[in-house]
Amino acid sequence: MENKLLIKIEGAEIRLELSHKDKIVGEDIWREDGNLSKNLLKRIDGLLSGNKLKINDIDPNIKVESDNESYTSARIAKVVARMMEYSLS
């Protein structure tokens, strides 16, 4: 699949990067306020719909990168990524 999603966590900053053929075509960046479990799927959906894509249009191997400073946020992001991978497989 040519469309890939990256969830990147750097401290309190959350970054979603959508790439097509290894070129970033969309991103969403925000500061985490303790509601990542509520907001992450909404933000992913917004990023995809803003690029006229559906969840089935992305590579099921969603990458999560973390600076290890935000352990809980990283765990939430990994669970969401794995759940999406499972549903896309």
Residue 26 to residues 37, 75, 85, Cα–Cα distance (Å): 21, 23, 20
Contacts of 49 (CB under 8 A, 6+ apart): none
User: Residues 58-87: pLDDT tens digits?
Assistant: 999 999 999 877 788 999 999 999 999 999
Fold of the domain built from segment(s) 3-88: Nucleotidyltransferase; domain 5 (3.30.420)
Hunting for tokens 């969403």 — which residue is that? 28
DSSP string, 16-64: EEEEETTEEEEEEEEE--S-HHHHHHHHHHHHHHHTT--GGGS-S--EE
Segment 24-39 shows an average pLDDT of 93
Q: What is the pLDDT of residue 41?
A: 94
Q: DSSP character for 68?
A: S
